[in-house]
Amino acid sequence: MLMTVQDFETAARTRLDPVHADFIAGGAGDEITVRANEEAFRRLRLLPRVLRGNTERALDITVLGSRARTPILLSPTAFHKLLVEEGELATARAATAAGAIMIVSMASTVAVEDIAEATRGAGEGGDPAPLWFQLYLQPDLEFTRSLVRRATDAGCTALVVTVDSPVRGAHERDVRNGFLDLPDGLRCEHMVDPREGGRVRPIAMSAEITWTHIDWLRGITSLPILLKGALHPEDARLAVRHGVDGLLLSNHGGRQLDTVPATVELLPEIHAAVAGRIPIVLDGGVRRGTDVVKALALGASAVGIGRPVMWALAEGGEKGVRRLLELLREELDQALALCGAAGVQDLTPDLVRAPVWPPADASAALPGGVVS
Ligand SMILES: Cc1cc2nc3c(=O)[nH]c(=O)nc-3n(C[C@H](O)[C@H](O)[C@H](O)COP(=O)(O)O)c2cc1C
Ligand SMILES: CCCCCCC(=O)C(=O)O
């Protein structure tokens, strides 16, 4: 029975090629950050309010003009056709059924136009859930401009620019497994270049990209721009100065620079740096409704999930992802109820505790004055 995100992973692993399971689970280097993301959520404690009389909870959000029925969005993940034949079409239908924002990866195996088409009429009242588009800025600016135009024309309502990848992280599992390219028959649909007779370009992860490129992007689009992967508070402040509309606080699920901090640990500092001027979405290690509550209480406007969607897609295609999103919604609603909250807007930092035990002034009272 699939009751938790962990159950989806366990079930998916029985069906998946172990090489593909490693591609999903893996991270960079020693995978210290992969583990840190989940551990950091586990370390935090919730301190609920009581007797608040909230019989129903509001889970809906509006972020950068995009309305969603849940604060849990689908972070961009590559290559869904590795897992099921329909690939991103299945994911997108499930997202729209849940009223969840899906961020389409630039490395998706279905084109954004087809993904948008698949979501039409599939949402509540016929409205599709919002689609956002993730970009790795390519040094070939004309090619990047054509991608922005495609995403805009397809109806995407925000651009998410991944900035943590001047080079690709060291995915040692993939190297050991020899998983260095997509199998025959699959391709990154957005990298097909009509100017070059339909050649499929490699995705450039380029160290040439600077804030000047962000200014350039700001100048060619009126869509909201979020930066994904800026972790330093000074870069968060620079993002605001460069006209960026939001941050996706992410360490790429531990797949880029290993040993960076867990995102939820950075959240208070980043929240203070942007000082409410732009919204923050957080991803990395979100596996439970209580994790969503913790991130929102600490200042995130929404959270993203990456691997859980991949496991659910591998386990059961569109149905699997639908069930996953329902499950997380149920967990979130229950956690809100137990916190005494009427909805996500009621979540405040005082509901979260990072335990330091024993407290400094109490340690003298322990037997022998020992600090454990
Ligand atoms: C298999 C896989 C593929 C990913 N592909 C992309 C991608 O194409 N673009 C991107 O910006 N991030 C990508 N990410 C990172 C996710 O967007 C997200 O930051 C991360 O998965 C969140 O952590 P979580 O997996 O612990 O939820 C990928 C992650 C995984 C696991
Ligand atoms: C060279 C293709 C890279 C696809 C990007 C996928 C990604 O970001 C990941 O973490 O994997």
- DSSP string of 130-155? PEEEEEPPPSSHHHHHHHHHHHHHTT
Tell me which residues have their CB closer than 6 angstroms to ligand 1: 23-24, 37, 75-78, 105, 107, 134, 162, 228, 250, 252-253, 255, 283-286, 305-307, 310
Residue 78 in marked binding region: yes
Instruction: Say how far apart CA 301 and CA 20 lie, in whole Å.
Output: 32
C-alpha dihedral sign at 165, 171, 174, 180: positive
Ligand 2 in reach of 188 Cβ (< 6 A)? no
Q: Which residues lie closer than 8 Å to 252 by C-beta, 6 or more apart? A: 162, 164, 165, 169, 229
Residue scoring higher pLDDT (292 or 124): 292
Q: What is the pLDDT of residue 372?
A: 41
**Nearest residue (CA) to ligand 1, atom 28:** 77
Judged against a pLDDT cut of 90, whether residue 29 lies above it is answered with yes
Q: Which phi and psi angles does 249 have, rounded to 5°?
A: -70, 105
Q: What is the pLDDT of residue 39?
A: 98
- Helix (H), strand (E), coil (C) string for 18-82: HHHHHHHHCCCCCCHHHHHHHHHHHHCEECCCCCCCCCCCECCEEECCEEECCCEEECCCCCHHH
Q: What is the pLDDT of residue 128?
A: 79
Ranges of H-type helices in the chain: 5-15, 18-25, 32-43, 88-98, 112-119, 141-153, 172-177, 211-220, 233-241, 263-274, 289-297, 307-338
The residue among 48, 108, 102, 115 whose CA lies nearest residue 74 is 102
Distance 108 CA to ligand 1 centre (A): 12
| For the ranges 70-84, 126-140, 195-209, the one whose mean pLDDT is highest | 70-84
Q: What is the pLDDT of residue 371?
A: 47
Judged against a pLDDT cut of 50, whether residue 291 lies above it is answered with yes
Please choose from 79, 164, 168, 258 the residue to mutate so as to test ligand 2's pocket, defined by most ligand atoms within 8 A of CB. Answer: 168
Give the CATH fold of the 5-348 domain: TIM Barrel (3.20.20)
Distance 135 CA to ligand 1 centre (A): 13
Judged against a pLDDT cut of 50, whether residue 211 lies above it is answered with yes
Q: Cβ distance 250 to 235 under 8 Å?
A: no
Residue scoring higher pLDDT (31 or 363): 31
Which two three-digit tokens encode residue 144? 């990047």
Average pLDDT of 308-334? 98
Q: Which phi and psi angles does 159 have, rounded to 5°?
A: -115, 135
**Nearest residue (CA) to ligand 2, atom 7:** 78
Reply yes or no on whether 213 is catalytic.
no
Element (H, E) at 249: strand 246-249
Q: Cβ distance 89 to 114 under 8 Å?
A: yes
Instruction: Say how far apart CA 285 and CA 23 lie, in whole Å.
Output: 16
Q: Cβ distance 332 to 292 under 8 Å?
A: yes
The pLDDT mean for the chain works out to: 95
Instruction: Say how far apart CA 331 and CA 326 lie, in whole Å.
Output: 9
Condensed to tens digits (0 to 9), the pLDDT of residues 90-123 reads 999 999 999 999 999 999 999 999 999 999 876 6
Condensed to tens digits (0 to 9), the pLDDT of residues 329-370 reads 999 999 999 999 999 999 999 999 998 777 777 766 666 544
Q: Which phi and psi angles does 133 have, rounded to 5°?
A: -120, 130
